[in-house]
Amino acid sequence: MYTQLIFFLLLFVPVILTPARAQIQLDDDAGQTIILQQPARRIISLSPGLTELVYAAGGSDYIKGVVSYSDFPEHAKTLSRIGSYNALDIESILVLQPDLIIAWKSGNPKHQIEKLKRLGLTVYISEPRDFSDIPDTIIRLGKLMATDGIAEQNAHDFTRQLNELKQRYKIVNKKDRTRTFIQIWNNPVMSVNQEHLISRVISLCGGKNIFAQTNSLTYSPNMESILEHDPEIIIATGMADASELWLKRWQQWPFLSAVKNNRLYAVNPDHLVRHTPRILLGVKEVCQLINPEQ
């Protein structure tokens, strides 16, 4: 009897001594509370930029599905495709059995995101709007995956490099800012307001976004308005050779300051449109274009 009692106690000692796994709980950029019973191990990203952020947070082993154009880092090209950012393939998403989906608040179709939630999937909604949101998002994604160490290191490196760039240009309070038109699309012509991170890049570099005060995050101005603002510099973010075609269009208005002074430029869209650590490359490009003397 005594021997049986000892055996019984030993059998359950590991269970008694094993601590319960702590629940992971945090808020996303839509204000909803995300709760995971264990770290995410099967992740799907719904934009190329979010894919980069998952990798930056240490999720290379855990990201299983991505949308089209998710091409950085190189490993992302090998992952399963689940449609495009604005046309998700719900069936392909379900096949991958994700325990966490990272969605793009202003880019993914709202009705498709709601459908994913109704199917019982956990959806974390992300929308970096400022420089500080990038390291913050990396840290939060690290918590969801329990990769805190890598995430915090990469977040720290981003903040350090950004501060170095700010010190290098020292033009945050520049009074005579360069009137800048940032063109993110051509048909129709589109730009962004001051709430967009691209506009914050322009401001950091000493430029003045001519459509900063518009109400919409992305904005389609009429041509008369653009000509009236007379931008001193025009920066296009088209893919591949598209920017060159966009910029050629402005040659038909030779009186524009940007055209007269040959200040029509194209930048790598991945370095500005994707709100990831690579935006530091975009900052360098834009600052050099606005401040050629530096």
pLDDT for the residue numbered 173 = 52
Query: Average pLDDT of 161-178?
Result: 79
Residue 140's H or E segment, with its range, is helix 133-145
166 within some domain: no
Name the average pLDDT for the chain.
90
Q: Are residues 25 and 153 in the same domain?
A: yes
- Domain boundary residue among 125, 158, 191? 158
Q: Are residues 202 and 257 in the same domain?
A: yes
200 and 259 housed in the same domain: yes
**179: Cβ–Cβ under 8 A, 6 or more apart, which residues?**
207, 208, 210, 229, 230, 231, 232, 233, 257
Residue 168's pLDDT is what?
A: 85
pLDDT at 154 over 50: yes
The pLDDT of 268-286, averaged and rounded, is 94
Residue 8 has pLDDT above 60, yes or no: no
pLDDT at 10: 45
Average of per-residue pLDDT across 104-109: 92
Strand partners, 24: 36
Last residue of a domain, which of 101, 124, 158?
Answer: 158
- Is residue 94 helix, strand or coil? helix
H or E element that contains 288: helix 279-290
**Which domain CATH number covers 67?**
3.40.50.1980
Is position 3 within any domain? no
- Is there a single domain that holds both residue 146 and residue 183? no
- pLDDT-derived band of residue 172, with 50, 70 and 90 as boundaries? very low
Task: Please indicate, yes or no, if residue 217 is contained in any of the structural domains.
Answer: yes
- Tokens in use for 193? 């307001």
pLDDT at 26: 94
Q: Roughly what angle, to the nearest 10 degrees, separates helices 148-169 and 133-145?
A: 170
Could you tell me if 180 and 224 lie in one domain?
A: yes
With contact defined as beta carbons under 8 Å apart, do 58 and 150 qualify?
yes
User: Do residue 154 and residue 20 come from a single domain?
Assistant: yes
Q: 154 and 22, same structural domain?
A: yes
Minimal CA–CA distance to 117: which of 103, 138, 137, 131? 103
Same domain for 153 and 22 = yes
**Residue 155 above 70 pLDDT?**
yes
Instruction: Verify that 190 and 260 share a domain, yes or no.
Output: yes
Percent of all residues in the chain with a pLDDT value above 70, rounded to a whole number: 90
pLDDT in tens, 218-261: 989 999 999 999 999 999 998 877 888 899 999 999 999 999 99
Boundary (domain end) residue, out of 131, 158, 185: 158
CA dist 191 and 84 (Å) reads 22
Distance CA 196, CA 269 (A): 14
Asked if the model's pLDDT at residue 70 lies above 90, the reply is yes
Confidence check: pLDDT of 18 > 50: no
Give the angle subtended at the CA of 188 by the CAs of 184 and 190, to the nearest 5°. Answer: 30
- Do both 227 and 122 map to the same domain? no
- Residues 110 and 229 both lie in one domain: no
> Which letter, b or e, does each residue of 57-84 get, where b requires 16 or more Cβ atoms within 10 Å of its Cβ?
bbbeebbbbbbebbebeeebeebeebbe
Range of 246's domain? 172-290
Number of domains composing the chain: 2
Is 2 inside a domain boundary? no
197-204 helix and 279-290 helix, angle to the nearest 10 degrees: 40
- The answer to whether position 5 is within a domain reads no
pLDDT average, residue stretch 89-98: 97
Asked whether the predicted pLDDT for residue 276 surpasses 70, the reply is: yes
Residue 179 shares a structural domain with residue 113: no
Domain presence at residue 134: yes
| Residue 6 included in any domain | no
For residue 239, the model assigns a pLDDT of: 80
Whether 60 is covered by a domain: the verdict is yes
